[in-house]
Structure 1
Amino acid sequence: MIKGTGESDRHQAVEEEFFSGQPDSTIGKAGRREKAALVDLLFRQSRAVLFANLIIPIPVAYVLWEVAAERWLLLWIATIWLLTGVRILLSHRYFADSEKASRAGSWARHFTVLSIFSSLLWGAIGWIGFVPQEPHFIAFVCIVLTGMSGGAIPSLSAYPPAYIGLLLAMQIPFALRCIGQGDSIALTYLAFQACLVGVYLYYCRETYIALMTTVRLRFENLSLIEGLEHERDRATAADQAKTRFLAAAGHDLRQPIHAIGLFTATLAALAKNGDVSGAEARDIAGRLQLSVGALGRLLHGLLDISRIEAGLVSVERQPVSLSQLLAQLCNEFTPRAEARGIRLRVVNSGEWACSDPALLKRILDNFVTNALKYTPAGGVLIGCRRRGQEIAIQVVDTGFGIPADRQVAAFDEFTRLHESEGEAEQGLGLGLAIVRRLATLLEHPVTLASIPGRGSVFSIRVPVIERPVLSAATTKGSLGDLRPAGIMIVDDDPQLVEGLKTLLSLWGHQVYAGTTAADVHRHHKAAGRPRVDLIIADYRLSGGLTGTSAIADLAEYLGYAVPALIVTGDTSPERLRKLTETGHALLHKPVDPDVLYEAIDRTLSEGSPIRPEEALATD
């Protein structure tokens, strides 16, 4: 049991329940469950009371045969037996009720009403057997009533109103006779009766507290067991997800790496045989970019999950033009649909919604990507349906469809809706898992309806708002050309340093790079200590150093604050949270050149990091 203050508080709460008699509608789910368990105890433990009602009336009638009319005693016995039969029938119906837990209060009230009627019959003995000229009869009925009242404590304390009703119904007639008699013996009996009533109520309360505590501890133990089972199931599911991931990664991560190796070997063989023509170089470079892009999408899918779980994806709600949003989807996905021979149709809408435009588009991107991926022929429709104060943005396809038993699992990590051989962008099955997390973050309900062989409908519901009044200042222009800048680079991998230095130099920047901050100092000094506009640092450096410490070292060397980009391959939610707290912009390996270009431009022009949700990948 819980000790100390907790136990005292629990007993106080139980006592309040004992005296309040609150209805089911005012207590919580746990309270209703506990009450149902106590009512069940009430019916189970009342069997002793029912047995007593069948047996004890016979000797009582025998003793009182001299002072009461025979027909009244026989009627009294018959009535008690009739009521006992009704109570037995009630008990039988209770145990046969499959929904008794939800109707526990009603069953308890029925039990209490019949118990009070039966107790009133017993109380009549206190009136009939109170014969002032025969003190032994008064003592007899007093013993019977106090014995019946005391014996009912274990049986009826699970539901205090039932016991209180029994106690009062049995004792009040005898008390009224004592008050009416008024002599010293009658008042002595009355005082004795009052003391016993107080003692019985006390023991009823203590028994109820013990029963309630036992029931609560039982449910707490069951909750602990359920919690352990849930954690076990979660661990099992995580292990199965890891197995699915490793199985998927075993193929999907090897594919682009294998392609990169082949194209690199091809380039090396061409160079060995002679000069490589510009056309050949561009063709191989293009294929390498496609392979690197495919690898990046796979890895960024994993990173997106970590970003969301780390709480790094913030929601910035604003008016969203569904017309513009649908137009973006149409422009982005039409070429892909045409390449697959699929008709993509968009039904425009003039409504405006309140949402985060970046996150909402990311969700719809995943919907459309899945629709195109799993629709071998036919079409995909993107449209909207008004639903009161909300609007459902729907993506309808004529693809494979999803069986009903897989529709919930479709939103789990590493779940592929269908296996398709030769699909270049099969993915790791993270797209809909990201959708589920983002929709929860936005508080936008997501639904799926599907018929195998006929297609699927993915839908997200967003709140509708009035069209806002827009000014010219509210529209941002596109990013301008990247201006030349002085950039410091720190990375403990010499090949990455050289590759990044070459790329940034081709973009027109003056680069000072090295594997340590000291190397960068030396190169910068050799160049005459020119102005530095940006620092790019890998997070994990040799010697146990980090990119944040290198940035601090370089800023101290320069003597002025410089915006910085941290490049990391770490996907740990806790690590991402800590890196975000540094205030530096983050880039995640592998870094797409276009993303790097935009990040440098934005950091130089605005000094603002890329929002994590803007880098979320589509699976």
Structure 2
Amino acid sequence: MTHNGDDIEAAMVRLLYRQSLGILFANFVIPAAVVYALRETTSFHLLLAWMGAIYVLTFCRIGLSLMFFRHGESGATAPRQWVTRFAIFSWLSAALWGFLGTMWLLPPDPEWVAFACIVLAGMACGAMPGLSARLGVYIGFMTIMVLPFVLTCMVREESIYRVFLMFALALYVVNVYFGRVTHRTLRSGVELRFENVALIGQLERERDRANAANLAKTRFLAAASHDLRQPLHALGLLSASLSAVAERGDVGADGARQLGRRLDTTLERMGGLLDGLLDVSRLDAGLVTIRRRPLPLATLLDDIRDEYVEQARRQGCRLEVVVTEAWIDSDPELLRRILDNLLSNAIRYAPMARILVGARRRPGAMEIQVIDTGPGIAPEQQALVFEEFAQLPDAPAEQGLGLGLAIVRRLANLLDHPISLRSAPGKGSNFSVTVPLARNANAPSATDAPLSAFSQASQKIECYGVMLVDDDPQILAALSDLLTFWGHLVYAGATVEEACAAHQRAREQGPAPVHLVLADFRLANQVTGDQAIGWLREYLDAPIPGLIVTGDTAPDRLRALHASGYRVLHKPISADALRQAISETVREASDLPEDQS
């Protein structure tokens, strides 16, 4: 636990002033008793002058303390200056008390020497708690006060003064020692107090963080309860429509296609909501890999225009994309996700608005802007929109879980691309991301071809042997039917043993090749998908490629899946994505296995 040394010093100075109030009170009482006791042994006028000087100095010290408590505690003046002032007054007081031990005030009779020794010892011990907050002040006080008495004892020749001398020296040494102990105790107490304050502050921050997490969870549950129920409700209605149409007899092709499109649209909406959660979990798990390279900004903006112009038109928006020729340095996939989120938000939250996408040159960078003429965002809500599960009060019904801009912020931080928001109610919004210019602009390589090129080249349906393991009976049956419909040979089971048994039955009837193992991640009896793939590889005695399907989004689960080395698909999975993943996984295997019969 760290603490500020200046704060500790300031606290020790406050202790110095506060604990010295008792010694100031003693400066009023003891001088009067000394004058009364010595009134007939020495010059009475000298005694009165000595007492008056102590009183005047004590009033000055009280005034200094009042000034400190009024101004010094606020920190307006450096603590060192207040220590210097305090030390000067304390040492002047020590000099006056030390004058009591000189030959001018001290009678030569041993009993009065003993009396003076007792008075000085009392003042030395009484000053220890107050002055030990600054050890140097106390040592100076002791030295100045005791030194005159020591010199007096050394000058006088009577043997009794040797005893008083030894007593005075012992008093000095013992008080300095205990002054050091007291100083360390006081300082340790102050340090402990600051550590407790720091610990309390840390606990309060942790409490606030926990409260924020709890609020985020509450917002998520509220959003998920509504936004995930909507597509589920739509699916229920569409399923009822399919049943009603089927009861009427033959289903027309147009009607079936229309219901199919509605089902696809609803599933896409649900998948988009769940993909947002998955993106946040991947970022939390640190599984997002950055692959920077020079890329042409003009191509990026062209692709955005081609993809979103029709979507914007359906929402009544007028999308304009100003293409700028420049080469920027970024991860094309992650940057595209940032811009996709910004543009999707603009279309969703600013219907019937004009949306402009363009870029401005900045020193060594390009600032890509998404500007809309929509309702705008109030200043007090502008920081909120970048938080997870945050949703604006006037947002449309299909607004999602409020993760889009949170993902934008995290991706921008990951890429070190500053993001900014300028908006005002009724005047639209301007979201921007600043991307550095590429130092060496190279033409795109063959490996940078868009994904659609592979998709177009892989439209041919290929048939494989697939061992399928899933402990959910409905998913197992549905997935088996779908794979069989695509022409694959499927050996399915809820456990590894059942899948092996299915494969054995197929072998008895003829060739039973296996090209892929498709397994759910969470299986019965705490078996994981990667374990199932490993056991099936042992059964087949071949390095069959594996594909894991999961609905987990927790960061620790994602890290475990990533460490398995197998390709992972996250539920819900579209049919096209599943078909493409199966084809790619088999193609990317180093050696396709021979038919297993």
Q: What range is the shorter-chain TM-score in?
A: 0.7 to 0.9
> Which of 440, 460, 466 is equivalent to 1:468?
440
Shift of 1:589: 0.9
Q: Distance in 2 between matches of 1:526 and 1:328?
A: 53
Please say if 1:580 is aligned against 2:562: yes
2:102 aligned partner = 130
> Which of 272, 286, 304 is equivalent to 1:297?
272
Rate the CA distance shift 1:270–1:448 in 2: closer, same or farther, 3 A.
same
Amino acid at match of 1:259: A
Please say if 1:455 is aligned against 2:428: yes
Shift of 1:85: 4.0
Rate the CA distance shift 1:224–1:84 in 2: closer, same or farther, 3 A.
closer
1:432 aligned partner = 405
> Which of 524, 531, 549 is equivalent to 1:567?
549
Please say if 1:211 is aligned against 2:186: yes
1:287 aligned partner = 262
Rate the CA distance shift 1:40–1:554 in 2: closer, same or farther, 3 A.
same
Please list the CA deviations of residues 93-131 of structure 1 after superposition, one character each: whole Å capped at 9, or x if unmatched: 247x5x43xx68x23541343333331342254257421
Percent identical: 44
Shift of 1:552: 1.8
- More divergent stretch after superposition (511-520 vs 245-254): 511-520
Rate the CA distance shift 1:161–1:530 in 2: closer, same or farther, 3 A.
farther
Rate the CA distance shift 1:72–1:431 in 2: closer, same or farther, 3 A.
same
Give the secondary structure class of the aligned counterpart of 2:547: strand
Q: Distance in 1 between matches of 2:570 and 2:282?
A: 11
Q: Distance in 2 between matches of 1:389 and 1:208?
A: 58
Shift of 1:510: 4.8
> Which of 28, 33, 42 is equivalent to 2:16?
42
1:23 aligned partner = none
Q: Distance in 1 between matches of 2:386 and 2:400?
A: 14
Contact kept, 8 Å, 2:31 with 2:51, in 1: the verdict is no
Q: Distance in 2 between matches of 1:318 and 1:523?
A: 51
Amino acid at match of 1:47: L
> Which of 462, 475, 496 is equivalent to 2:475?
496
Please say if 1:277 is aligned against 2:252: yes
1:367 aligned partner = 342
Give the secondary structure class of the aligned counterpart of 1:152: helix
Rate the CA distance shift 1:560–1:138 in 2: closer, same or farther, 3 A.
same
Please list the CA deviations of residues 164-192 of structure 1 after superposition, one character each: whole Å capped at 9, or x if unmatched: 44444545566677778899777766654
Rate the CA distance shift 1:534–1:178 in 2: closer, same or farther, 3 A.
farther
Contact kept, 8 Å, 2:124 with 2:142, in 1: the verdict is yes
Q: Distance in 2 between matches of 1:356 and 1:191?
A: 83
Contact kept, 8 Å, 2:17 with 2:65, in 1: the verdict is no
> Which of 520, 532, 535 is equivalent to 1:538?
520
Amino acid at match of 1:455: G
Contact kept, 8 Å, 1:323 with 1:349, in 2: the verdict is yes
Shift of 1:40: 3.4
> Which of 77, 88, 97 is equivalent to 2:65?
88
Contact kept, 8 Å, 2:50 with 2:96, in 1: the verdict is no
Please say if 1:66 is aligned against 2:43: yes
1:550 aligned partner = 532
TM-score by length of 1: 0.78
Contact kept, 8 Å, 1:517 with 1:550, in 2: the verdict is no
Give the secondary structure class of the aligned counterpart of 2:448: coil
Q: Distance in 1 between matches of 2:297 and 2:151?
A: 81
Q: Looking at both structures, which has the greater relative contact order when contacts are Cα pairs under 8 Å and sequence separation is at least 6? A: 1
CA RMSD of aligned residues (A): 3.9
Shift of 1:374: 1.8
Q: Distance in 2 between matches of 1:167 and 1:487?
A: 96
Which residues in structure 2 correspond to 1:110-509 (within 5 Å)? 110-126=82-98, 129-131=101-103, 134-135=107-108, 142-171=117-146, 192-222=167-197, 225-226=200-201, 229-230=204-205, 232-319=207-294, 322-347=297-322, 355-384=330-359, 393-420=368-395, 423=397, 425-442=398-415, 444-461=417-434, 464=436, 466-470=438-442, 473=445, 475-479=447-451, 480=454, 481-482=457-458, 484=462, 486-488=464-466, 489-504=468-483, 509=488
Q: Distance in 1 between matches of 2:361 and 2:164?
A: 78
Q: Distance in 2 between matches of 1:330 and 1:161?
A: 76
Contact kept, 8 Å, 2:238 with 2:259, in 1: the verdict is yes
Shift of 1:30: 4.7
Shift of 1:155: 1.8
Give the secondary structure class of the aligned counterpart of 1:537: strand
Contact kept, 8 Å, 1:567 with 1:587, in 2: the verdict is yes
- More divergent stretch after superposition (150-159 vs 237-246): 237-246
TM-score by length of 2: 0.81
2:594 aligned partner = none
Q: Distance in 2 between matches of 1:177 and 1:359?
A: 88
Shift of 1:283: 1.9
Unpaired runs of at least 5, structure 2: 591-597
Q: Distance in 2 between matches of 1:390 and 1:186?
A: 88
> Which of 595, 600, 608 is equivalent to 2:582?
600
Q: Whose radius of gyration is greater, 1 or 2?
A: 2
Q: Distance in 2 between matches of 1:322 and 1:187?
A: 97
Q: Distance in 1 between matches of 2:208 and 2:470?
A: 42
Contact kept, 8 Å, 1:130 with 1:138, in 2: the verdict is no
Q: Distance in 1 between matches of 2:363 and 2:44?
A: 78
Please list the CA deviations of residues 403-422 of structure 1 after superposition, one character each: whole Å capped at 9, or x if unmatched: 3333333333322113445x
Rate the CA distance shift 1:124–1:326 in 2: closer, same or farther, 3 A.
farther
Rate the CA distance shift 1:607–1:55 in 2: closer, same or farther, 3 A.
farther
Amino acid at match of 2:282: R
Shift of 1:289: 0.5
Rate the CA distance shift 1:362–1:169 in 2: closer, same or farther, 3 A.
farther
Contact kept, 8 Å, 2:389 with 2:401, in 1: the verdict is yes
What is the aligned length?
Answer: 574
2:593 aligned partner = none
Rate the CA distance shift 1:454–1:33 in 2: closer, same or farther, 3 A.
farther
Amino acid at match of 1:492: D
Contact kept, 8 Å, 2:318 with 2:354, in 1: the verdict is yes
Rate the CA distance shift 1:50–1:596 in 2: closer, same or farther, 3 A.
farther
1:517 aligned partner = 499
Unpaired runs of at least 5, structure 1: 1-9, 11-27, 609-619
Please list the CA deviations of residues 405-456 of structure 1 after superposition, one character each: whole Å capped at 9, or x if unmatched: 33333333322113445x4x32012223333444454455544443233333
Contact kept, 8 Å, 2:61 with 2:89, in 1: the verdict is no
Rate the CA distance shift 1:214–1:513 in 2: closer, same or farther, 3 A.
same
1:52 aligned partner = 26
- More divergent stretch after superposition (561-570 vs 468-477): 468-477
Rate the CA distance shift 1:176–1:378 in 2: closer, same or farther, 3 A.
farther
Contact kept, 8 Å, 1:83 with 1:114, in 2: the verdict is no
